[in-house]
A and B are shown apart, each in its own frame.
Chain A
Amino acid sequence: MSVIEAKADRCPYPRPFPEDFTECPAYQATVFIAVDSRNKPLGTWHTCRHLAPGSDIENRGRFYPRCALGDLAQRMQWVAHVTPERLDVVRALQEEFDHFSLPHREMLVDARARLHQQGADSEATDSELQQLIDAFLDAIDRFLKQNEARFRDVGLPPEPLKRLIKEWLWAWMRSGELATSRLSQSPGDALEDSVGAFLGVTADSPQYPARRLWDRPLYTDSLLRIVPTVEPPGLALVGDVDGTNIEAVTQALWSVRNGTDDVHLDLSGLLFCDLRGLQAIVRTSQALDGGRSLVLHGLPRQLERALEIVEWAPLPHLKIAREVAAA
């Protein structure tokens, strides 16, 4: 009997994903509309942008649902890097783009179908197509301009975005394939791919402030993993700290208070932390004796501000390390 070890980058969640799936913090919903050979919709499926077919060589090359981001640790670090808010803003922009572009897309699909039916010698349809594309590009221009602040906020400069959408549009028009599911994909997917390109680049090389002993977690639940770190010694909190796991967080923090050196917290993987979580951190720093400090690494700027608002910063034994992230 052979034990087949599950691949670390195997997607552990049940698929297809329910519409309001929130269990995986890295989940990036894409709606997939399957169509038959006559372009009649067969149904709507929710899948994840990061889901890719993986081939398991040790298991006779069998396919398995692979998470393109990697294993759990890599998924969590990716989300912490891009932040859940950024993902939501990008998602909202995609929705709005799909909504406003629908009439344009419908007209284009229609015109394109006629073009491919009539063959190459149909100049009327060709110029009609040209007009439709120009009108669509104008509309895209307006959309990008109107939402420029939001695009810039999430790190998507409108100019390269526009180029990508334009290229995608032309490629789609020229491609001869008619009756495939690709036809029902919207230019929103182009937007999404470009977002992926931008976000992917920055997320590729996570900077850990500390070496994490990922395989020896002190605590694990569906939201949070607390792992010991070495160099420097301390803890890493990866995921969400809230009322559901505050006791575990308090205990874990309490367990590292003894010693002779400063205690380090790697918070670069923190997706969310409520005030009770911050309080546990503050109380731990106050319990350190002998002039030792609790040093916070990778504290999100927002939480630093929250500490200041509730007057938990500055405190004598709580240090906020300012590491400049390597670009």
Chain B
Amino acid sequence: MTLTAVALDRFRHEAMFYAGKDEFLAQTVPFIREALAANEPVLVVVGAEKIGWLRAVLGEDAKGVHFADMASVGKNPARIIPALRDFVDRHAGDGRRLRGIGEPISPRRKPTELVECQRHEALLNLAFDDWPGFWLICLYDTGALPSAVIEAARRTHPFVTRDGTHAESDVLSILAGSMPPLAEPRVVQATRPFALSGLHAMRRVVSREAARVGLSMSVIADLVLAVNEVATNSVQHGGGSGILRIWQDSAGVVCEVRDGGHMNDPLADRRRPAPGQDGGRGLWLANQLCDLVQVRSLPTGTTVRLHMHRDRGR
């Protein structure tokens, strides 16, 4: 296996398939050791248990690796790109190469989260387009994940590795704009059109419905703040008005804001705001406060769904 023979003339976003612990280690450990040998900073974002496996095998070498728990970094998948971005910004320089390992998709992901993980994978190709020295491997457990998920991974990654063999993958077909449409809720608790003057009444509806789902006071306040920001975007940039819909799903409550506007930047919700910039923080804040934020922007209009889970595990 000659990993280093692979050219790095562009951002290398690669899917790596494995089944079980042995294969996981057999594929990741050499990748990490090579990075360490070449003095390339390496970031590993996987579940806590797998971090334990790697630490055990790497021994002293583990000290040179940056580990992060996917459960905290990537619970909301929209937070993964900013975390990778921070790593790249901190360690790049002098043309230094960087490596990363991530496993955003585990079998425990809820269906809505899975969809957003796939969108995250597609957006990665755009997000690091300008970083030719960055080699990122995304792990997929073929023993635990449905075959449709593996197939989707083949389409979102320009490179695919199996049994140590690297290959260019098929054309990228899932790009940001061509995600499947969001599933319609079966029962909607509240539908409310709003304009600027209706933001207050809209906030009252969000708070009331969130309380009915059983969320705690501080989580309700966060949700109200996030929804208000997205709705304010509709008022300012989305044609002056929008429609709020609220419903429950098995995980908690979903607030959807729809308007007639169009966001040109598919990475708009995962760019860390610059300190001096005015505005442009609403979606960023929403992604940090909510468990999941789904953004779909087409020339015909924009839909943002904000999910808050009942069981937040933190």
Q: Do A and B come from one complex?
A: yes
Taking the complex as formed, is A95 at the interface, i.e. its CB lies under 8 A from any CB of chain B?
yes
| Mask of B194-231 contacts with A, CB within 8 angstroms, 1/0 | 00110111011001101110101110111011001100
| Most chain A beta-carbon contacts within 10 A, residue among B217, B228, B279 | B217
The answer to whether A154 and B204 touch across the interface, beta carbons within 8 angstroms, is no
Complex alpha-carbon distance, A244 and B275, angstroms? 25
Determine the chain A residues whose CB is within 8 A of the CB of B214 once the complex forms: 92, 147, 150
Number of interface residues of A (CB under 8 A): 35
The answer to whether B228 and A244 touch across the interface, beta carbons within 8 angstroms, is no
The answer to whether B207 and A88 touch across the interface, beta carbons within 8 angstroms, is yes
Determine the chain B residues whose CB is within 8 A of the CB of A312 once the complex forms: 275
A264 CB, min distance to chain B CBs, angstroms: 24
Given A88-B207, A88-B208, A310-B281: A243 in contact with B229 (beta carbons within 8 A)? no
Taking the complex as formed, is A254 at the interface, i.e. its CB lies under 8 A from any CB of chain B?
no
The answer to whether B281 and A91 touch across the interface, beta carbons within 8 angstroms, is no
Given A92-B212, A150-B214, A272-B228: A22 in contact with B201 (beta carbons within 8 A)? yes
Taking the complex as formed, is A275 at the interface, i.e. its CB lies under 8 A from any CB of chain B?
yes
Complex alpha-carbon distance, A65 and B271, angstroms? 53
Complex alpha-carbon distance, A15 and B64, angstroms? 69
Q: Which residue of A lies closest to B197 (CB)?
A: A244
| Mask of A132-147 contacts with B, CB within 8 angstroms, 1/0 | 0000000000000001
Instruction: Give the contacting residue for A306; candidates B196, B211, B216, B285; CB below 8 A.
Output: B285
Taking the complex as formed, is B98 at the interface, i.e. its CB lies under 8 A from any CB of chain A?
no
Complex alpha-carbon distance, A267 and B1, angstroms? 63
Taking the complex as formed, is A83 at the interface, i.e. its CB lies under 8 A from any CB of chain B?
yes
Instruction: Give the contacting residue for A92; candidates B203, B211, B224, B236; CB below 8 A.
Output: B211
Q: Which residue of A lies closest to B222 (CB)?
A: A302
Complex alpha-carbon distance, A92 and B189, angstroms? 14
Q: Which of A13-72 contact B (CB under 8 A)?
A: 20, 22
Complex alpha-carbon distance, A251 and B71, angstroms? 44
The answer to whether B221 and A83 touch across the interface, beta carbons within 8 angstroms, is yes
Complex alpha-carbon distance, A103 and B221, angstroms? 34
Taking the complex as formed, is B289 at the interface, i.e. its CB lies under 8 A from any CB of chain A?
yes
The answer to whether A88 and B220 touch across the interface, beta carbons within 8 angstroms, is yes
| Mask of B45-89 contacts with A, CB within 8 angstroms, 1/0 | 000000000000000000000000000000000000000000000
List the interface of chain A (C-beta within 8 A of B).
20, 22, 83-86, 88-89, 91-92, 95-96, 147, 149-150, 153-154, 223, 240, 242-244, 272, 274-276, 279, 300-302, 306, 309-312
List the interface of chain B (C-beta within 8 A of A).
196-197, 199-201, 203-204, 207-208, 210-212, 214, 216-218, 220-222, 224-225, 228-229, 232, 235-236, 272-273, 275, 278-279, 281-282, 284-285, 288-289
> Top 9 nearest A-B pairs by Cβ distance?
A88-B211, A92-B211, A85-B217, A85-B220, A92-B212, A89-B211, A22-B204, A310-B281, A88-B207
18 A-B residue pairs with CB within 8 Å = A22-B204, A84-B207, A85-B211, A85-B220, A89-B211, A89-B217, A92-B212, A147-B214, A150-B214, A154-B217, A242-B228, A274-B228, A275-B229, A275-B232, A302-B218, A306-B285, A309-B288, A311-B275
